[in-house]
Amino acid sequence: MQLFDLISSFFISNAYADTSTATAGQQQSSMSFVIMMGVLIFFMYFVMWRPQSRRAKEQKNLLNSLTKGDEVVTSGGMLGTITKITDSYVVLMLAENVEITLQKSSVVSALPKGTLKTI
């Protein structure tokens, strides 16, 4: 039981009633809370939101720049050459006389020309 009391006193501080006015301490603590929240939001923006929006913008530019004859990699890891493009679908030629239709969003990256011939 003593171990539990020791651990709980470490994580949970005791609350005591204060008979004096503590408005200055409350203002200071609320101001520090606002500053901490501002720093947290600033940190979240630069660590999470900004890189994610940049990646989404790059993916959108990639999908808009696809043309017939481009060599691409799909999210499933398949390599192929684009033979036909519509608004939301892409037809990939994986091998001679082997074509599949995929959603445009499944294209992950474009490869340099001639990559498939060297593999």
98 and 73 share one domain:
yes
Q: What is the mean pLDDT of residues 70-79?
A: 94
pLDDT of 20-54, one tens digit each? 555 555 566 778 888 899 999 988 888 888 889 99
- Quote the domain boundaries for residue 79: 67-118
Q: Is the residue at 113 inside a domain? A: yes
Give residue 32's Cα distance to chain centre: 30
Sign of CA dihedral 96, 118, 84, 104: positive
pLDDT of 87-99, one tens digit each? 999 999 999 999 9
pTM tops 0.75 = no
**Domains identified in the chain, total number:** 2
Q: Is the residue at 10 inside a domain? A: no
Q: Is the residue at 88 inside a domain? A: yes
Q: Is the residue at 13 inside a domain? A: no
